[in-house]
Every structure is written in C-alpha cells, then in structure tokens.
Structure 1
Amino acid sequence: MNILTAGPITASAIGPQLPRAAEVVRAFTASPDDDLHPVLVVAAALAIEHRLRVGVDAIVGDPRADDPVVAAAARTACARDAACAVLIDRIDRWAAIEFAEGRAGVLHTESLGQLIERMVTVWMRGQALADSRVGASDPRVRLASAQLGELGAAYDDLVTDLRLGRRWLPALQTPTGPDGTV
C-alpha cells in the first residue's frame, strides 16, 4: 500500500487510541462502566479505591482512635494499596499488549498505570480539600490544581509520543502487590 494513495491517516492507523487526560480525570467521578475505554474503566476503579483510602487514613491519623480500630484501619489501608497495585498492573498489561510493537524512540520512565495513579492521587488531594471546604484561593488547592494540570499535560504528551513511536513504555515494573508481585 502506498502511503500517498492510502487516504488520510487516522488515529487508529498511527497506533492504539488512548483517552486524553481530560477524559481520564472525568472517569475519576464515574462508576466503572464496561462500555468505556479499558483505561477509563480502571481509572474509575482507582478513584474509588482512593476515596475509600481517605477515610482509612483519617482513622489511622486520629490520635484519639483506639488501637484495635487503628489496626483494623491499617489492614484496610494495606488492602486498598494492594487493590490499587492490581489496577495499575491491569492498565500496564493492557498497554503492553496495545503498544507491544513500539520499541522505537525513548524509554518513558514510568508506566502508564503509574502515571494515572499519580493523577488520581493528586485529584483526590484536591477533592479532600474541597470536601473540607477549603477555599479555591488556598495555596494547597492551587497547588493540587497545578499539579493535576501538569500531570494531565504529561499524560497527553506521552499518549501522543506512544502513538507516534517517539516513546515506549517500560516492560518490567517493580512489583507493588502485597507479596511483592501483582
């Protein structure tokens, strides 16, 4: 097939389609839906895990909490972390299959799942501040917003670079599950 006569280049002709950062962030407030892009389904599930973790962290950090309550909360925190590790791995396995051919370009320093996890973490920090009724002019709110914006731009740049073959994702990640494997 001649590239000059093949017709317009579409996104699917360049590489796998990934949602943009704005769609990923919107997925944080959605419930996981099988009709969504696989990355968005897992992003929604990650956000749920992070919401659950906020309540647990409040208990663990409460100096007035009883030791058995703190111990139970700590076990729950470990379970939430393990669930997040499994979800991050699910994104990474999807990306490894979808971008298996792209080994040209420069190695990206973190996996797609790790980047989305960082986006969820910063987004959740902003949500927690909003829930505590901190004003939009508070420096912590502005910082969380700026960090999410930067991570979103980095995500979008990575998506573009992956599709164009300028970057590739690491195949081997540090295991983060409860037993050192995911």
Structure 2
Amino acid sequence: MKKRSFMSMALAVTLVPGVALAHGPTRQKITLTTEVAAEPAEVWARIGDFQDMSWHPAVHSSTGENGNEIDATRVLSLGAADGPTISEILYKYSDEKMSYSYRITDVLVEVLPVTNYSSHLTVKARDGGGSVIEWRGAFYRGYPNNDPPEDLNDEAAIAAVSAVYQAGLDALTTAFGAPDS
C-alpha cells in the first residue's frame, strides 16, 4: 500500500508543472497620459460627464441613462449614426477626485478586440500649472482560448486600446493646448 501511495504522489507531483503551463490569456494593462495647459476644473468640465463622450474623435454620438450615478449606462455610436456601438456601465465616479471608472458591457470583438474590459479616466493638477489626463485600462484579448488568431491576440488588444486612448488624449491636447515647458 505504501508503494502505491508513493507512486500516486510522485505521479501527481510530476503532472503539476504541466498543469501550470496550460493556462489561458493574461489580463493586459495599459496607461496613457497627456499634459494640457488648461487647469483641471476646465478639463473635467469637458470630460467629466459620463454621458457625453463627444470630445473623442471616434465617437459620433453617445446616449445613456442616469447621468453620473453608479450603474449609469451609455452607448457610444462610433464613426456615424449607423456605426458600430459600444455599451458601457459606470461603476465608480468622483467629481471631487475628477475621476470615473467604467466597464464595457457589450462590444463586438471586430470593433474592439477585447473582453472583460474596464477603464479609468482621471484629471490631476500638473506641477507648474495645467493638467495631467490619465486614461488606463485592463482587459483580456478578444479570443479567450489558447492560440488566438492574430487579430484577436494580446498584441492586437493592446494596440487597439492604445489607439483609442491616444486618439482621445490627442484630441484633448489639441482642444486645451500643450503646457509651456
């Protein structure tokens, strides 16, 4: 009996490393920032309304319910009135801290190749005047299983989210101007 127990334990120990190698995707995280000349209150007045994302060049329109209340929802129409949509829900909001956090509840991976996406947008005072706008997100790639196609892998997800954030931050830099060095 002791010999059989030892063999079972040896077999289990041998198999554990193989199990550790068989895992799915890892959560990706990105943070992009920009600095603008406008003071935080002015920037927040423009981007702090969860229901209004008209400041982003990819957003044709946004509709939603419940303003900036927790569990408020919005649907972003991209590009044109009949363009693809992204549905989102607000789960954290602080006017005082000039920040909010939201999750995507519905998007086609052909539109944004991610799953389980959450994001945080914040405005902070910049040393020397102006503001720092930070947009960060965490997400999984669009294909949840092993061996994803190229357009749904980690690199595609990171590139797509980075492009969305950069386009929005660039638009804000254009709108508010870059700070003097």
State whether TM-score is above 0.5: no
Structure in which a larger fraction of residues adopt helix: 1
TM (norm. structure 1) is: 0.28
TM (norm. structure 2) is: 0.28
Instruction: Flag the structure with larger Rg.
Output: 2
